[in-house]
Amino acid sequence: MIMIRKAKKPAYPAQKDSFIRMDGRTAFLAALFITVFFLFIQLLVLIYSFYVVENMGRIISGMFSRSEYYVELILAFVENVTLLYLFFRIEFRILARFAPEARQPWLLFSAMLPAVCILSAILSQVTGIWFKDELTAYQYSIIQFIKDLILYFTSVLVTSLIYLIIKNQERIEENKNLIIENFRNRYDALRNQTDPHFLFNSLNSLSGLIGYDDDRAHEYLEQLSSVFRYTMREHSVATLAEELEFAASYIYLMKIRYGDVLTVDVRVPDSVREYSILPFAIQTLVENAVKHNIVSRHKPLRLVIRLTDDETIAVENNLQPRHGVTPGGGLGLSNLSERYWLMFRKNIRIEASESRFRVEIPLIRHAPPPPAGDGRETKQQKN
């Protein structure tokens, strides 16, 4: 039985502390603001007409002298706010449901136009009782139709603007999380490599080689230095070649410790070694395999690191979990999954069967440029 799953996307509440959300409150406030804005524009037009257009002052004075006009004004204001609120609520739901699909929201917005036309015709018949005055029913319907279309297209424009603002807020929040995650990852990697158990095992292995095989002891010390040097670098993205070189140093240390019962077969062509990958990605998978599986003379551990047809790096091992260990349930994989989603919007893929465990991590052809100073090492670090 084979279990295949994608690692879960990290659930960061991007809108939790946002000043704007796609909810009923935002819809009502936006509808109220737009209606007030249009009233303000109408007021400016009336003021301009009062002083410029001949006889307009008398007409305007007659309008405001009628008590019915104020009732009509209030009813028109309520109607416009209600109509805009309805538009916003529908548009918010469409974007919340179909936002990942680039074209679907706009197709649905276009499909709403017939409904807007029908709604406008109904409203023109109902409100015409109060509003049409000297206008004919046909003239008032045309005015109502134009006004409703203007309100609808304005609502679509404002909805798009609100959506872009929210997405920008999410990106800002995720960038903060990514920075925090990268710092946490560098700290965890450094802490893990300087863990007393790791140091004890490394120094114990080195001590066993000194005097017995000085050449291998020297090589072991070089590889140990390479591991520490890579860990101390400040870089958010690495090339596959760099990561494989680091993983090779780490594997060398593990093979000195476990001997022939640990084998690692690397099958990665040179054509993809300049692709990008997250630092410590391959090393984390190798470390997890060694940490969570039995490695003994009777149960040797075999790992394969290879390129798949989908241009991902697969790290696969025979499954022989230690007692109480659940494959794929460690913090290392969870951390790696979150980093991949935050940095590249990609998922790692996990496959598990009764005898095999496999993780695929994406390669990135065009990675984002690293921040200024990324990857630089001081002389002290190099030494």
The answer to the question of residue 98 being in a domain is yes
Looking up tokens 């006889």 gives: 55
* Contact status, residue 118 vs residue 90, Cβ threshold 8 Å: no
pLDDT confidence tier of residue 382, bands split at 50, 70 and 90:
very low
Q: What is the pTM of this model?
A: 0.52
Extended strands (E) in 249-311? 262-267, 276-277, 301-307
- Per-residue pLDDT, 344: 83
Is 18 part of any domain?
no
Q: What is the mean pLDDT of the chain?
A: 75
The span from the CA of 53 to the CA of 49, in Å, is 5
Q: Which CATH number fits the domain that encloses residue 331?
A: 3.30.565.10
CB-based contacts of 230, cutoff 8 Å, min separation 6: 242, 245, 246, 249, 279
* Residues 203 and 160 grouped into a single domain: no
Give buried/exposed letters for 46-80 (b at 16+ CB in 10 A, else e).
Answer: eeeeeeeeeeeeeeeeeeeeeeeeeeeeeebeebb
| Residue 221: Cβ within 10 Å count | 14
Q: Are residues 144 and 276 in the same domain?
A: no
Q: Is residue 13 part of a domain?
A: no
Does residue 267 sit in the same domain as residue 316? Answer: yes
Inter-residue contact 318 to 265 (CB < 8 Å) = no
For 359, the enclosing helix (H) or strand (E) is strand 356-362
User: What does the pLDDT read at residue 227?
Assistant: 79
The answer on 161 and 125 residing in a single domain is yes
Note whether 260 and 301 are same-domain residues.
yes
On whether the CB atoms of residues 18 and 166 are closer than 8 A, the answer is yes
d(CA 89, CA 268): 52
The mean per-residue pLDDT over the stretch 376-380 comes to 37
Q: What is the reported pLDDT for 293? A: 92
Residues 200, 341 within the same domain? yes
Indicate whether 91 and 204 sit together in one domain.
Answer: no
pLDDT, tens digit (0-9, with 9 covering 90-100), for 126-160: 665 555 555 566 666 777 778 888 888 888 888 88
Identify the band that residue 376 occupies on the pLDDT scale cut at 50, 70 and 90.
very low
Instruction: Examine the domain organization and report whether 202 and 344 are in the same domain.
Output: yes
The reported pLDDT for the residue numbered 313 is 95
Check whether residue 209 and residue 129 sit in a common domain. Answer: no
pLDDT at 44 (0 to 100): 75
Pairing verdict, β 301-307 and 262-267: parallel
Spatial CB neighbours of 271, under 8 Å, sequence gap ≥ 6: none
Whether residue 287 is contained in a domain is answered as: yes
What domain range includes position 366?
A: 194-382
What is the pLDDT confidence band of residue 373, given thresholds at 50, 70 and 90? very low
Q: What integer is the mean pLDDT of 167-193? A: 69
DSSP category for residue 299: S
Lowest mean pLDDT among 23-27, 149-153, 342-346: 342-346
Region 198-219: mean pLDDT is: 70
- Stretch 252-268: mean pLDDT: 89
Distance CA 170, CA 178 (A): 12
Q: What separation, in Å, do the N-terminal and C-terminal C-alpha atoms of the chain show?
A: 50
Tokens of 33: 């603001």
pLDDT tens-digit series, residues 38-95: 888 877 766 666 565 555 555 555 555 555 556 667 777 888 888 889 888 888 888 8
What is the count of structural domains for the chain? 2
Report the residue count for the chain: 383
pLDDT score of 19: 58
Residue 244, pLDDT score: 94
Distance of alpha carbon 4 from alpha carbon 26, whole angstroms: 41
Q: pLDDT at position 55, please?
A: 54
Residue written as tokens 């872009």? 164
Q: Are residues 149 and 235 located together in one domain of the fold?
A: no
Within a domain: 266: yes
**Residue at 185 is within a domain:** no
Residue 186 lies in a domain: no
For the stretch 133-154, what's the b/e string if a residue is b when 16 or more beta carbons lie within 10 angstroms of its beta carbon? eeeeeeebbeebbebbeebbeb
- Sheet with 301-307: list strands edge to edge: 3-6, 349-352, 356-362, 312-318, 301-307, 262-267
pLDDT given for residue 117 in this prediction: 78
For residue 156, the model assigns a pLDDT of 87
Give residue-wise pLDDT tens across range 285-330: 998 899 889 999 999 999 999 999 888 999 999 999 887 666 666 6
Which pLDDT band, with edges at 50, 70 and 90, does 381 fall under? Answer: very low
Residue 377 predicted with pLDDT over 50:
no
Asked if residue 259 and residue 167 are part of one domain, the reply reads no
Residue 2 lies in a domain: no
Coil, helix or strand at residue 156: helix
> Do 223 and 342 lie in a common domain?
yes
Does the pLDDT value for residue 246 go beyond 70? Answer: yes
